[in-house]
Chains A and B, each alone.
Chain A
Amino acid sequence: MTAPEVTVEEQVLYSSTVTEVGEQVGMFVGDHGILVLFGADSPAELHDFSALHEPTVASAGPRPGDVVELGGTRIPVLAVGAVVEANLVNLGHIDFKANGSGEADMPGDCNLPVGSLVLPQPGDTFRILRPAGPVATPEDAS
């Protein structure tokens, strides 16, 4: 193990930058506790209510216990529906619902704590992070 890797605390599963925030995003977040993200290449009819972004890392979707980082705010993931990962990896699409529920009602839901959502701004970083698991610790930390 000679790789000059520092001790990794979190795995970055997804990393992206918000490029545009649709006119209705504030209403979706404020009135419904829902934040919709789509990749910047999505069809125009989806842009009004979406935060658009351009990913540089798109290796996996979230699972419960992961952290969503949005504009510097860290939010724990409570529940994840069955199609969340495919939509995120393929389309840059995810539906965050700040409903506090530990069960995803709809297959595209990614549930977060009530009141945890922030309104993203262009330039914000959007990442999904997985806390380090109980894996073997690197022996040569230097």
Chain B
Amino acid sequence: MSDYKSVTISAGRGGWGGPLTITPTADKPLIYSVTGGGIHPVAAKIAELTGGEAFDGFKSSAPFDKIAVAVIDCGGTARVGVYPMKKVMTVDVHATSPSGPLASFIKEDIFVSGVGVGDVVEK
């Protein structure tokens, strides 16, 4: 599993930020899905294309330094800021833009939103 590939993730319709290039490594292998209903299809697609390991954040916890990218279904207040604040690349499947108490951490080089499965492409 040392042969990881890169993907480019772009903002979808109404989305903001990015594009982000995600390349898991042996030290940061996790595609961390913090979403309702298990691994989100966007996280599954990233894992499939990169060779990273899809991980359900609601089932168990992972150290931040193992996370290649966090996939969230945040409505714009909390999770959109938490992962960027921790310097974790963040993909929101909902079309949010920087807001909430942690808005200052949400930058285009670490956050992208409105992302659907079709916005994840091999680099």
Contact = CB atoms under 8 A, between A and B. Distances in A.
Contact of A44 (B61, B83, B94): B61
Grouping DSSP codes into helix (H, G, I), strand (E, B) and loop, the A interface class, with mixed when no group exceeds half, is: mixed
B36 A107 contact: no
Nearest to B97: A106
Contacts, number: 74
Interface residues of A, number: 31
Interface string B69-103: 00001111111001100100000001110011100
A52 to B, nearest CB: 13
Interface residues of B, number: 23
A91 B100 CA distance: 19
B118 interface: no
A142 B39 CA distance: 50
Nearest to A35: B77
Contact of A49 (B36, B37, B57, B78): B78
A28 B101 contact: yes
Given A34-B100, A45-B82, A107-B94, A95 B61 contact: no
17 contacts: A36-B77, A41-B58, A43-B57, A43-B61, A44-B61, A45-B64, A45-B86, A87-B73, A90-B37, A95-B77, A97-B77, A107-B76, A107-B95, A108-B75, A108-B76, A108-B77, A108-B96
Interchain residue pairs A-B with the least CB separation, the first 3: A108-B75, A106-B76, A90-B36
Interface of A: 27-28, 31-32, 34, 36, 38, 41-46, 49-50, 81, 83-84, 86-87, 89-91, 93, 95, 97, 105-109
